[in-house]
Amino acid sequence: MLHTGKSADYVNLALKNGAVSLVINLGSGAFEALVEPVNGKFNDNAWHDVKVTRNLRQVTISVDGILTTTGYTQEDYTMLGSDDFFYVGGSPSTADLPGSPVSNNFMGCLKEVVYKNNDVRLELSRLAKQGDPKMKIHGVVAFKCENVATLDPITFETPESFISLPKWNAKKTGSISFDFRTTEPNGLILFSHGKPRHQKDAKHPQMIKVDFFAIEMLDGHLYLLLDMGSGTIKIKALLKKVNDGEWYHVDFQRDGRSGTISVNTLRTPYTAPGESEILDLDDELYLGGLPENKAGLVFPTEVWTALLNYGYVGCIRDLFIDGQSKDIRQMAEVQSTAGVKPSCSRETAKPCLSNPCKNNGMCRDGWNRYVCDCSGTGYLGRSCEREATVLSYDGSMFMKIQLPVVMHTEAEDVSLRFRSQRAYGILMATTSRDSADTLRLELDAGRVKLTVNLGKGPETLFAGYNLNDNEWHTVRVVRRGKSLKLTVDDQQAMTGQMAGDHTRLEFHNIETGIITERRYLSSVPSNFIGHLQSLTFNGMAYIDLCKNGDIDYCELNARFGFRNIIADPVTFKTKSSYVALATLQAYTSMHLFFQFKTTSLDGLILYNSGDGNDFIVVELVKGYLHYVFDLGNGANLIKGSSNKPLNDNQWHNVMISRDTSNLHTVKIDTKITTQITAGARNLDLKSDLYIGGVAKETYKSLPKLVHAKEGFQGCLASVDLNGRLPDLISDALFCSGQIERGCEGPSTTCQEDSCSNQGVCLQQWDGFSCDCSMTSFSGPLCNDPGTTYIFSKGGGQITYKWPPNDRPSTRADRLAIGFSTVQKEAVLVRVDSSSGLGDYLELHIHQGKIGVKFNVGTDDIAIEESNAIINDGKYHVVRFTRSGGNATLQVDSWPVIERYPAGRQLTIFNSQATIIIGGKEQGQPFQGQLSGLYYNGLKVLNMAAENDANIAIVGNVRLVGEVPSSMTTESTATAMQSEMSTSIMETTTTLATSTARRGKPPTKEPISQTTDDILVASAECPSDDEDIDPCEPSSGGLANPTRAGGREPYPGSAEVIRESSSTTGMVVGIVAAAALCILILLYAMYKYRNRDEGSYHVDESRNYISNSAQSNGAVVKEKQPSSAKSANKNKKNKDKEYYV
């Protein structure tokens, strides 16, 4: 309000924080007084009287004649030094006036301003109004009291809101003061810069320098930043944090290279480096933040909040520039600035209490707002409400952000989400065309590796482990100068410090998927295969900005959206095809990944031998993956876990790893198997790495635990060999066989009508085949007649006898046969156990209806199709399955009949000895035609036609090559086609007696391949209490493993237990039986030449083949060979049952 004097002799009267301040110094020390009202403030827009008197050293100040303060100046000086000027209402630089507690000039009304001493009385306000020549007026002064516009506070509600002020002309001196209030930790409060000029710097020849001034908040601290062309100063204005929601007064003063920054009453001096004293600001002065379109703006690397896109959120009031007040509320209205409110209030309720952040976003309370951290959610937006775009990379794809100008930063915030099955791959990197500077994130052995190189060598940090698990992971990087922090998911952050003095990162590009700017790279990181999402660099969500077209400087061939990644697929068209690559480098640890797709049960996928006994093998064995290795102290086998065989013509993901502590991990799709091995830790491989197989002569020399006898037939893709992505064709040292790029799979695939007559389609790599076992038909598509015998008048019989040492015991059975007859009573097929055991199974006709009865040790169980008349002379097909005591029966395409007997049932059909066809021995001889008999892998009529040594034929039986025409296709029930051949039959122990008809059978599932006469119900040995001796587990492993969920296997999946006998009597019996068979055969041949053809009429036009319309093309994974000789045998001395 008033000032006179200079140096150490002065009087200063001011209004400070609504109170009246007086400072008097007579040359030996100041007297200071602050007069405050009892209630409120003096800046209440009312008149107040101020009177200051001094008598020698005693000083008295009174306001409104009531509030009086008396004190004494220091020492004994009593004379105020004379001076030739007074300041009333302000000064050119109020902050620089000696003793001035404020930096702002007065706004308001003054009257009756009088100064008097012993010699003179000066009525200063009257002299000014009269235009006295000694009085000089600066600025706008009206000699009447008008309402002065109040300097209302404003609130910046969002980080994007800002106000632009006119250019600040403060070349030599200047001052800025304001009050602020916030609870947020970061924000740019004031910023302006001068004309760009190129810096003469060998390291950064293109770097642009500018004069600039900034005041910013970082992590709750207030900083002053200033550069006048000869170096930047960065001053922390106050040691304590200032984001506590209270008002703080900031005062910045500058005179040439020196000045002060003060917060409240704490003043911090500074001196700028170099020689320059001129601050050349050429741009607008921005308050609260920066415009979204920053074209033309140059951001000095030292102003971290500008580069990090941290706008200020909070209140500002009482802004004075060079002592002149600025009505920022009016400016905001004129500029129509969004997010600026003309008031300041603090809400008491915490915004985060209402859980505003969606999709598990992390909420933080801001200034009257909530702030959501969406980095770990896969969503964007203020409330994490908008799903972030996913980019898919296949190892040849990238996204590259080519920034319009070269960037120089000293602080970065980076976050991204990734999902990958590879242990190696580049996630994100900044790259420069002119230097080795980089900030790079990559996967390295399943961990995230951060590399920061600012030109003086890289600094690295690692975080996380086993991140190649095909799950989403979030990575966050925070750099502030030399300080680094790396966080993966919600794990503890890893921190580090940069060495050296360099803090500036230069980059032209932000790259993902592939690094294309490789000039300064000593080693190129592996390309990325997987998915990226929510890549945010200093507040810019680049993936979504690229997709939405918000920026035009991104180049990419990665694909938007989540897509299954099949990278660089290659087809091995034959089992003799393979490639050789350079030796696998897996000495101390290993991470392998590949995808495969095949229809083959067996095949060698990968093989590499080494010094001594060291080797590694990956192979398919009966549809399951085996990982075999030897580190020098013996071979080990780890079987991959999967619910079903993997040769299902679907893509499967395989990850195999070994860490330095010898923890081996095999992951197939989502199933993980681990094993720790003791002893040697290093895998010393030497020779070539073979993919897809080896040379034919090499298979015999493979280690004993390796089953492979041929190569892999199918597709391989995304092959990752310890971080190396080889091109299996162009990188091969040599190739053998037919290998092609791409994966078309089988040229023909199973369709609904691929196989006729309910034949089961078997998908194979070079096409498909049809399993006609349960159809009675034959041929490639199950539409040719099966082997047919005619049983004429007087009856006949075909008998198959198992060798005594090879008699199976089964838990489940499958039987199918085609027939035509006009008989009401007959036995078609009967299977009997060894003498004395009493187990049997019989297919018969009773009163013109087909039925089956069997006994496996408990009671006779019968099942019958009562609705179908089958003695009509037409051709019919009957299918029967048994699982324990449960059974199904189907005639033609009638619905499947199911039988679940009550009570506990024994399950094993023990020691099967004979199959009798024709019923002559049972006294109910069959007359008519029988075709295509199938029983547990045996095609008995085919064997009879081939003169199998175990077959005996007696009676009036004739082999024909064609099916008589009188056997027209049974088509009355075609609308109710069934899938009985793969119906699920559960083995139960206690159920209410029931015989149920199913109009629609259970959903068909694929049948796993096995040798037909060993249809294993589970991987375990039979454990029924009816077994006399425990069985020995088969070395053959799973032929048809139990389905997920614990369901029992198909009725046709029968477990076979072979018996053996080596007694002398048995040997003698075999010899005798052989001699008898020879005699019978000679007799049968004689009878065949002289027999009566009988009176049964047949028409052999084979018109029954029209039944091919009844088809079943269900895809199954594995073929069931017809040979009965390839069975693995579970040895058992006896199969006699006993009861508990």
Tell me: do 1054 and 1013 sit in the same domain: yes
Name the residue type at position 217: M
- Distance between CA 624 and CA 213 in Å, rounded? 69
Q: Which of 270-279, 463-472, 592-601, 811-820 has the lowest mean pLDDT?
A: 270-279
pLDDT band at 961 (very low <50, low <70, confident <90, very high): low
- Distance between CA 469 and CA 671 in Å, rounded? 11
The model's pLDDT over 805-852, given as tens digits with 9 standing for 90+, comes to 999 999 999 999 999 999 999 999 999 999 888 999 999 999 999 999
- Residue 670 in tokens: 């989502």
Where b means 16+ CB within 10 Å and e means fewer, 163-201 reads bbbeebebeebbbbbbbbbbbbbbbbbbbbbbeeeeeee
| C-alpha distances out from residue 1067 to 297, 915, 1061, Å | 103, 22, 9
- Distance between CA 67 and CA 39 in Å, rounded? 12
Confirm if 28 and 74 have CB atoms less than 8 A apart: yes
Confirm if 644 and 669 have CB atoms less than 8 A apart: no
Tell me: do 632 and 555 sit in the same domain: no
Is 1066 part of any domain? no
pLDDT band at 201 (very low <50, low <70, confident <90, very high): low
Is 106 part of any domain? yes
pLDDT of 857 > 80? The answer is: yes
- Distance between CA 238 and CA 7 in Å, rounded? 28
Name the residue type at position 1102: R
Residue 463 is part of which domain span? Answer: 388-560
Confirm if 394 and 422 have CB atoms less than 8 A apart: no
Q: Which of 148, 35, 132 is nearest to 89 (CA)?
A: 148
Q: What is the mean pLDDT of residues 233-256?
A: 92
pLDDT of 645 > 70? The answer is: yes
pLDDT of 1038 > 70? The answer is: no
Total number of domains constituting the chain: 5
Name the residue type at position 87: Y
Angle among Cα 506, 510, 515 to the nearest 5 degrees reads: 105
Rounded to 10 degrees, the C-alpha dihedral 464/470/471/475 comes to 40
Tell me: do 847 and 973 sit in the same domain: yes
Residue in this structure with the two tokens 């000789």, named with its chain if needed: 1125
Q: Which of 103-107, 891-895, 1119-1123 has the lowest mean pLDDT?
A: 1119-1123
Rounded to 10 degrees, the C-alpha dihedral 193/196/200/206 comes to 110
What is 416-474 written as a DSSP string?
EEEE-S-S-EEEEEEE-SSS--EEEEEEETTEEEEEEESSS-EEEEEE-S---SSS-EE
- Distance between CA 192 and CA 296 in Å, rounded? 12
Q: Which of 316-325, 828-837, 1026-1035 has the lowest mean pLDDT?
A: 1026-1035
Where b means 16+ CB within 10 Å and e means fewer, 821-851 reads bebeebbbbbbbbbeebebbbbbbbeeebbb
Tell me: do 82 and 206 sit in the same domain: no
pLDDT of 219 > 90? The answer is: yes
Q: What is the mean pLDDT of residues 1008-1017?
A: 35
Q: What is the mean pLDDT of residues 47-67?
A: 85
pLDDT of 913 > 80? The answer is: yes
Is 376 part of any domain? no
Phi, psi of 526 (to 5 degrees): -65, 145
- Distance between CA 393 and CA 564 in Å, rounded? 10
Q: Tell me, letter by letter, the H, E, C secondary structure of 269-318.
A: EEECCCCCCCCCCCCCEEECCCCCCCCCCCCCCCCHHHHCCCECCEEEEE
Confirm if 226 and 210 have CB atoms less than 8 A apart: no
Q: What is the mean pLDDT of residues 685-698?
A: 94
pLDDT band at 903 (very low <50, low <70, confident <90, very high): confident
Angle among Cα 262, 45, 48 to the nearest 5 degrees reads: 90
Residues 6+ apart with CB under 8 A from 778: 772, 784, 785, 786, 787, 932
Q: What is the mean pLDDT of residues 209-228?
A: 93
Tell me: do 943 and 1038 sit in the same domain: yes
Q: How many CB atoms lie within 10 A of CB 236?
A: 12
pLDDT band at 1094 (very low <50, low <70, confident <90, very high): very low
Helix ranges restricted to H, 90-224: 124-130
- Dihedral over Cα of 718, 722, 728, 731: its sign: positive
* Coil, strand or helix at 49: coil
CATH of the domain at 813: 2.60.120.200
- Distance between CA 261 and CA 269 in Å, rounded? 6
Confirm if 692 and 572 have CB atoms less than 8 A apart: yes
Tell me: do 553 and 575 sit in the same domain: no
- Distance between CA 598 and CA 746 in Å, rounded? 9
The model's pLDDT over 400-440, given as tens digits with 9 standing for 90+, comes to 999 988 999 999 999 999 999 999 999 999 999 999 999 99
Tell me: do 175 and 254 sit in the same domain: yes
pLDDT band at 125 (very low <50, low <70, confident <90, very high): confident
Q: How many CB atoms lie within 10 A of CB 951?
A: 20
pLDDT at 1022: 38
pLDDT at 1102: 35
Q: What is the mean pLDDT of residues 1034-1048?
A: 34
CA atoms within 13 A on the CB side of 488: 22
Bridge partners of 580? 690, 734
Is 591 part of any domain? yes
Angle among Cα 768, 769, 773 to the nearest 5 degrees reads: 150
pLDDT band at 1105 (very low <50, low <70, confident <90, very high): very low
Q: Which of 912, 911, 1057, 1044 is nearest to 984 (CA)?
A: 1044
- Distance between CA 772 and CA 781 in Å, rounded? 8
Tell me: do 234 and 291 sit in the same domain: yes
Phi, psi of 847 (to 5 degrees): 55, 40
pLDDT band at 1071 (very low <50, low <70, confident <90, very high): low
Report if pTM > 0.75. no
- Residue 157 in tokens: 């509600």
Tell me: do 547 and 577 sit in the same domain: no
**More confident of the two residues 818 and 72:** 818
Tell me: do 856 and 960 sit in the same domain: yes
- Residue 1093 in tokens: 């053809």
Phi, psi of 257 (to 5 degrees): -85, -10
DSSP label of 44? S
Q: Which of 873, 822, 813, 803 is nearest to 843 (CA)?
A: 813
- Distance between CA 73 and CA 61 in Å, rounded? 13
**More confident of the two residues 12 and 1046:** 12
- Residue 432 in tokens: 């420069």
- Distance between CA 1075 and CA 1050 in Å, rounded? 40
Q: What is the mean pLDDT of residues 35-47?
A: 84
Q: Which of 210-224, 747-761, 774-788, 945-959 has the lowest mean pLDDT?
A: 747-761
- Distance between CA 1034 and CA 126 in Å, rounded? 120
Q: Which of 60-69, 373-382, 1003-1012 has the lowest mean pLDDT?
A: 1003-1012
pLDDT band at 236 (very low <50, low <70, confident <90, very high): very high
Answer with the one of 539, 560, 581 that is the final residue of a domain.
Answer: 560
Is 760 part of any domain? no
Name the residue type at position 378: G
pLDDT at 764: 77
Q: What is the mean pLDDT of residues 791-806?
A: 91
pLDDT band at 141 (very low <50, low <70, confident <90, very high): confident
Q: How many CB atoms lie within 10 A of CB 724?
A: 14
Bridge partners of 596? 652, 716
pLDDT at 1091: 41
Tell me: do 807 and 937 sit in the same domain: yes
Name the residue type at position 232: T
- Distance between CA 189 and CA 159 in Å, rounded? 11
- Distance between CA 928 and CA 792 in Å, rounded? 6
CA atoms within 13 A on the CB side of 578: 24
Tell me: do 204 and 313 sit in the same domain: yes
Answer with the one of 308, 341, 374 that is the final residue of a domain.
Answer: 341
pLDDT of 1055 > 80? The answer is: no
Q: Which of 190-199, 428-437, 872-881 has the lowest mean pLDDT?
A: 190-199
DSSP label of 705? T
- Distance between CA 658 and CA 608 in Å, rounded? 15
Mean of the per-residue pLDDT values of the chain: 82
Confirm if 722 and 585 have CB atoms less than 8 A apart: yes
pLDDT of 1093 > 80? The answer is: no
Q: Which of 61-65, 900-904, 1019-1023 has the lowest mean pLDDT?
A: 1019-1023
Q: How many CB atoms lie within 10 A of CB 669?
A: 18
**More confident of the two residues 1066 and 529:** 529
pLDDT at 455: 80
Is 1136 part of any domain? no
Bridge partners of 657? 591, 665
pLDDT of 84 > 80? The answer is: no
Helix ranges restricted to H, 900-975: 940-945
Where b means 16+ CB within 10 Å and e means fewer, 581-611 reads beebebeebbbbbbbbbbbbbbbbbbbbbbe
Answer with the one of 677, 709, 741 that is the final residue of a domain.
Answer: 741
Phi, psi of 126 (to 5 degrees): -70, -40
pLDDT band at 79 (very low <50, low <70, confident <90, very high): low
pLDDT at 874: 93
Bridge partners of 720? 593
The burial class, CB within 10 Å (0-12 / 13-18 / 19+), for 652 is: middle
- Distance between CA 1133 and CA 1118 in Å, rounded? 32
The burial class, CB within 10 Å (0-12 / 13-18 / 19+), for 925 is: buried
The model's pLDDT over 483-535, given as tens digits with 9 standing for 90+, comes to 999 999 989 999 999 888 889 999 999 999 999 998 888 888 999 999 999 99
pLDDT at 66: 76
